[in-house]
Structure formats: structure tokens, C-alpha cells
Structure 1
Amino acid sequence: MQQPALNRKIKPFQLVALIFFTVSGGPYGLEQLLAYAGNHAAILILLITPLLWDVPAIFTVMELNCMMPVTGGYYKWVKHALGTRWGFYEGWWTWIYTFVDLAIYPVLFVGYASFFFPGIEAYRIPVCLCIIWASAGLNILGIVPVGRVALFLSAAVLSPLIVLYVMAIYKHGGSLTIPHQTLHGLSFPSFGMSLYFVMWNCLGWDNITTYAEEVEKPVRSYLRATFIAFALVMVIYFFAVAVAIQAGIGHQLFFDKGFPALGELVGGHWLGAILAAGGMASSLGIYAAVLLSVSRVPKAMAADGLLPKKLNILHSRFRTPYVSIVLCSLVVSFMILWPLAELLIIDVTVYGAGLSLEYISLIRLRISEPDTKRPFKIPLSTAGLCIAALLPFGVYFIALGGAFASEGGGVKAALFAIAVLSTAELFWQVVCWRKPHFRRHR
């Protein structure tokens, strides 16, 4: 028997914490930006990219979610707007992208934990597996426990950062000095990789909608929580990169050792230690929040007959899609073997393809259902939406081009991501072979 709705729904302030961790979790992971963009382009790329990449996505997600605040989120929107086939593509792509995304955070946890335990890298895989399966257990308990843990971890992430910012500004006479920002002299591969790092640190706005039916007053709660979280993320990112530039930390040192090294430079070993602890908390919080969102997608697809019915089974006590959670955790357990930089390229490339279907769905619904109630509506005409959608597409293809132009594993990762995207059609044909009635769907 299902629990009363009130007992399983989270409140708006918990939603802010979940959104914060789903799309950001703090600036941990931005360290590589300076290595690629340098002091004279990092801030510019950091501020411009979210305006072109995130803002269109946020507004699109808010309008679609206000129309259809349902479990399954983006999968349901695309299926409703474009048909079952494209809904399957959306669910499949975003499911795969989230496997890749999830695999990044246990690896980051080990990196920050090495500040306290220098030899932990030798035990990277066992530690990562512990994180994966502990988070699976937490998610099986339900959205409310995950929301409470996210709220606690938010404080653990933000507190050290506030100390860092205050000390850095005080140390430099109460001000931050930002060098002149320009893209002049920045190579195309470096520019592309810089975009990838910023895009990765700002993606996932659609993921927060997959559990909309488990949120109190979802339409109003999502509107407020999303814009609060976006403002919080951008302020944190700006100060983090500005402090790193002003402190004069070596780019390679920042790349290798991250914010703990910056903390040691600004305030000493104790500040480095609490920033390392903050990085560990960030990795744990992001992992739990993203797993929460992705586990609802296969459940919704299974309910529609597109995936095995077992993925739709709910836990008898906690009413959570525990089979889906366990399956996701199994796949991520293998993905942790990939190098971090290559995971990031695969992650953003596959995510961008799924996001493109959401833009197309928004435009299609404006045309086919102009009179449907929209508590929130983007103040643009259909033609305006088409033009606005070109902005994130432009950023996406520039970043992808930069990956192909780069040396090392960038090309391999980009090609793998494209191959992964092509598997959606393969598995759609498998679905149609097993259930021929789906061939009649659009």
C-alpha cells in the first residue's frame, strides 16, 4: 500500500539543496578551467557560457515542467510532443549520460580524500564502489532522506568556500582584482575544452524534474527553487575562479591538487583540509541527487512498456524504484574505470543530444497546443524560441569541435559518445521487434 502523499514529498528548501547538487555541488571540478582558459579568459568563459547554455535550458525546463509536472520529466515531455520513438531516444540518451555523469563523482571523492589519505588512490575502485552502493541504499529509503542528506551536505560544501572567499578578500585589502578578459590567443582546442568544463559544471536542469510528483506544490516550488539555485551556483563559481586567479596559484598545481591546494595557499593547511572535506561532501551530495533523478526515468519507461517491467517495481516499504536504482548502480560500477577527462566529454556530448529534443518538444507544443495552460511561459514567440535555441546548439558544437581538434583522449571520447548516441535506434528496433505494436507509434 502506498504511503500518504504528504509523507513522501519534499519541501521547497530541500528542493533547492537537491537542485544545487544535481547541477553543481559547488565549484569542485572547475579547477581544470584555468589550465585550459588561463587567467585572461576563464572568467569570461565562466560567465558567458551559462547565459548561452544554461539559461535557455532552465526556461525550457520550467515551461515544460509547469505543463507536465510528472514522474519521468523530460522523457514524458518528449514522448508527448514528438511521439513514443523520440521519447525512447530521450530516455535512453539521458539514462546513458547519467551513468557517465555518476561515474565522475566517486573518482572526484577519492581525489579530495587523498589530501587526508595520500595512499588512497591505490584503493580507488573499492572506495568508489562503497560510495556507489551506500548511495543506492540511501536512495532506496526515499526522496525525503535524500533531501535531508543533501541539505546537510550543502552546509558542508558552502561553509569552507565562504571561509576561503572571506580570507582571500581580506588578505588582498578587501577587494578582488580580475585581469582583463579576452579570448585572444586562446587556441580552439583549449577553448573547446574550457567550454566542456563549464558546461559540465552547469548541466542537469532537466534532471531535477523527474521526481516532480514527489515535491510539494511542484509548479511554484520548482520555479522558485530553480532560480535560487542558479543564482547561488553562479555566485559561487565566480568567486571561486576569481579567488584562484588573485591568489596566483599555478595552473598545473590547481589542476592536480584542486581547491585544497588553493586553501593552503590562502590560509594554510587547516583551510586546505576543510576545503578537501567540502570536496568530499560535494561528490557525495551530487552522486545521491543525480541517482535520485535518473532512477525515475527507467521506471517511467518501464511503465510504458519500453523497458522490462521489473524496472517499474516499487519497494514494498519505501515505495521507491529499487530495481532501477540497483541497475543504475551496477552500470556505474563499471563506468568508474574511465579516465575523468574522457568521462566529462562523453557526459556533455550525450547530454546535449537529449537536451536538443527538449528544445524541439517545447517548440512543437507551442505550435500543436497553444492553448494548454502554462503557469510559466517563456516570453518569446515560436520564432523567438527557434532563434534562442540556436545559442545552446552553437556552444555545444563548438565544444564538440574543440574535442575533435584536441590531442590525447578527446577524440576517442567524442567518437565513443557519438557511438553511444547511435545505440538508441538499435535498441528501439529491439523494442519494436519484441512489441510490434510500437511500430505504429510516431
Structure 2
Amino acid sequence: MPQPVLTRKIKSFQLIALVFFTVSGGPYGLEPLLSYAGEHAAFLILLVTPLLWDVPAIFTVLELNSMMPVTGGYYKWVKHALGTRWGFYEGWWTWIYTFVDLAIYPVLFVTYASFFFPGIEDYRIPVCLVIVWLSAGLNILGIVPVGRTALFLGAAVLSPLVILIVLVIYQHSGIISVPSQTLHGLPFSSIGMALYTVMWNCLGWDNITTYAEEVEKPTRSYLVSTFTAFALVMVIYFFGIMVAQQSGIDHNTFLESGFPALGELVGGHWLGAILAMGGMASSLGIYAAVLLSVSRVPKAMAGDGLLPKKLNVLHSRFQTPYVSIIICSIVVSFMILWPFAELLIIDVTVYGAGLSLEYISLIKLRITSPNVKRPFKIPLNVAGLCAIMILPFGVYFIALAGAFSSTPKSIQAAIFAICTLLTAELAWRLIIWRKPHLKNS
């Protein structure tokens, strides 16, 4: 039976807000960077990492999405280019990574809420569960309510940051100095963890494509929204770290108490309070936007017979994949038990593996389908693409190696992430045992 046609679609300005929250949500979560990298390497890592890690991903996503703007996004691209098995790997890995990613934000919400309620950490799990299931309800209502909520929360995130930045610049009479930048003397493990911090704060560009059929004029909308969001994210990150550095805040205090502590130092309790509210809004916005993207992947996989058909069912009124949303929320309800640092390592490691399949798919389709219409095309030939793709792979493996040379908990998280990647093969074997005809597809 054919699924009903979705008629309510979001516009470019709403998509910008969704991209912003899917990828960033502001500098909240970037606080560990100064502790890992120090003032003499933080800006270098912050500015260079997105060029090597994000820019190739953005251009890859834009080209593939212009070819196939379909529900399921990256899963459909990889399946089309590399076959059903690798498409399943892509969907499985990104589904798991997003569970980990989603589990981070309710925990961050509690961290910022502790500014107003110092004892709230004792109730972390029930508060996190409330956020998980309220966001599930919002997503079941559809992409338009999520987009409108993202616009509102975006204003709540950006306004306090603008006040903070302006106040710091005013206090320093407009004279802003950036320390000389070098990696010399920085331990390799610290470099690795600093890279993980920036990579995590800049990932998810492919996630925004899973609901492409629910976007008006998807090719143009994604092009405008993605570049606008990237510029906004980089400006906010630079000034966020810059004001922390200019304020002279202790790095450990900044790590433990975040931007609210920075606000108190710069402008007093009132500024700390609105920055804490901004951090809470950021966590809510990111969670809702990421849940929106991940819930479309199992729906698409179920439509192809790789997951139970029930996941492909749409809500009778709102036309949303409500079963997928509910299952995602159940899994995340258990994942919130992990500590933040370990979640970050698992998150980036699993995400990077899925992203690598998208790069390979881009090159494969350039070779096998050179004449297929691409409204957006990277101005490089196959050899150029291969050369550029070395950059994100290099950053990825340096970060992973740094985690293995770090603390025992970091090593355990990295090993867990690798084991998680291997579960895709086990799940695939189970599928072809039940459906042998998929083995050679």
C-alpha cells in the first residue's frame, strides 16, 4: 500500500535553524577545548579542523543530495552506489552513532540547569527522560513544528552569546589579541582529545538530508542553508573561545561550569543566568533536530526490507514515522547512563566510519554515473576528490590514535566504538539468514 504524500514542507529559513542545531547548537559543549589544547593551540585546532573535517563532508553531502534528495539521505546514497550490504552498514552505523549523540544533550541540559537548581544532578536520569519523551512527542507532530521550535530556540541560544561577545569587546576597548598558535609541546593525547572535541561540535552535515522530501526546493534550500549555517557556526565558535580566552577564566572552571561561569565572570549573575538558559535551549534544540533526522533512516531501511516493516508506518494524522521515533527514544533512554567524555569518543568514531562510506560513494558514482544530473557538483575530477578525501581521514585517525594514548576510560570508549562498528556485520548476517535473496544485492 503506498504511503500518503507529505504536503507540509519546511522553507529555507527553517532549514537553516535545523541545520544549525543538527550540527552545532552554539558553542555549548566546546568548553573542554581550552583544557585540552591550551590558549596556544585552541584557535589553531578550532579553525583548521573544520577545514579538513567539515568542508569535504559539506561538499560531498551537497553533491550527493542534489543527485538524490530522498527520504533516508545518506543511507540511500550508499545503497545506490555500493549495494545493499554497504547501505545497511551505513544506516546501521549512523543509527547507532545518533543514539550516542542524542544521549549527550539531555545530560548537557542538566549541567546548565544546575546553574538555577544546584541539586538537579541528583535527579539527572528522570530529567533526561522527560526531555527525551517531550522531544519524541514534538517530532511525532511533524517537521514543521520542529522547524518552528528550532527557530525560537535558535534565538534563545544566540541572543545571550551576542551580549557576552559585545560586552567582552567593550571591556577590552575593542582590542582583541589572539596568542601565538602552535602544537609544539602539546601531548599527542591532548591533541587527539582536542580534535574529538572540535569534530564532535562540527559533525552531522549528512544528517540534515534524511528528510529532503519534506523540504521545499531541496537542492537550492540545502545549498543556501548549509553554507549559511557553516558560516554562522564558525563565527560563533571563534568568538566563543575568544571571549573565554580574553576573560582569563580558569580552564578547569570553564570546563566544569561552562559558559554560565564565563558570563558571571564577565557581566555578573544576570549574564550567567541567560547563558545558562541559552545552554538549556541549545540542548533541547539539538536533541529535537537530531531526532528528526535519525528517525527517517530506519523508516527508509524498513521500506527496503532491511528492518521490520513496522518502522515504515506513518502516523495516521501527522504522517510522521512515529514507531521509529518511539524506538529511537527508548534506546536513548538507556544511553543517557554513559559519562559525557566517553560518549563523545564513541560518537565521533562511529560517525566517521559512516562518513567514509559517503566519500567512497561519491567517488564511485563519479566513475559509474558521470552523466547523471548533479545540480550541485564539486569542481574536481576523480583524482582531485581522492586527494581531498585524505584530509578528513587523516584527522579521523589522528583523533582515534590520540584517544588510544589517553586515559584508560578513553581507551575503553574507543574499543567499545570499534566493537560497535563490528555489530553491523553481525546484524547483516542475521538479515541474509532470514532473507537469502539480499546476499548478492
Instruction: With the length of structure 2 as denominator, give the TM-score of the two structures.
Output: 0.99
Task: Confirm or deny that 1:364 pairs with 2:364.
Answer: yes
Secondary structure of the residue aligned to 1:440 is coil
1:302-351 per-position Cα deviation (integer Å, ceiling 9, x unaligned): 00000000000100000000000000000000000000000000000000
CA distance in 2, matches of 1:375, 1:112: 42
CA distance in 2, matches of 1:48, 1:436: 46
Moved more, 140-149 or 173-182: 173-182
AA in 2 matched with 1:156:
A
CA distance in 1, matches of 2:4, 2:312: 17
Query: What residue number does 2:352 align with?
Result: 352
AA in 1 matched with 2:179:
P
1:339-366 per-position Cα deviation (integer Å, ceiling 9, x unaligned): 0000000000000000000000000000
CA distance in 1, matches of 2:110, 2:218: 35
**Uncovered stretches (5+) of structure 1, i.e. residues with no partner:** none
CA drift at 1:434? 0.7
Query: What residue number does 2:142 align with?
Result: 142
CA drift at 1:4? 6.4
Task: Confirm or deny that 1:303 pairs with 2:303.
Answer: yes
Q: 1:2 to 1:310 in 2, by over 3 A?
A: closer
Task: Confirm or deny that 1:112 pairs with 2:140.
Answer: no
CA drift at 1:3? 6.8
Secondary structure of the residue aligned to 2:408 is coil
Query: What residue number does 1:233 align with?
Result: 233
AA in 2 matched with 1:180:
S
AA in 2 matched with 1:96:
I
In the TM superposition, what are the counterparts of 1:199-348 in structure 2 within 5 Å? 199-348=199-348
CA distance in 2, matches of 1:245, 1:424: 43
Instruction: With the length of structure 1 as denominator, give the TM-score of the two structures.
Output: 0.99
AA in 1 matched with 2:173:
G
CA drift at 1:50? 0.1
CA distance in 1, matches of 2:377, 2:235: 26
Secondary structure of the residue aligned to 1:409 is helix
Query: What residue number does 1:398 align with?
Result: 398
CA distance in 1, matches of 2:9, 2:360: 31
Query: What residue number does 2:121 align with?
Result: 121
Query: What residue number does 2:180 align with?
Result: 180
1:249-273 per-position Cα deviation (integer Å, ceiling 9, x unaligned): 0000000000000001110110000
CA distance in 1, matches of 2:66, 2:344: 30
AA in 2 matched with 1:435:
K
AA in 2 matched with 1:123:
Y
CA distance in 1, matches of 2:253, 2:178: 20
Query: What residue number does 2:197 align with?
Result: 197
Contact kept, 8 Å, 2:135 with 2:288, in 1: the verdict is yes
Aligned residues: 440
Superposition CA RMSD, Å: 0.9
1:19-64 per-position Cα deviation (integer Å, ceiling 9, x unaligned): 0000000000000000000011000100000000000000000000
CA distance in 2, matches of 1:76, 1:3: 20
1:50-95 per-position Cα deviation (integer Å, ceiling 9, x unaligned): 0000000000000000000000000000000000000000000000
1:155-204 per-position Cα deviation (integer Å, ceiling 9, x unaligned): 00000000000000000011221111111110000000000000000000
AA in 2 matched with 1:295:
S
Calculate percent identity across the aligned residue pairs.
Answer: 79
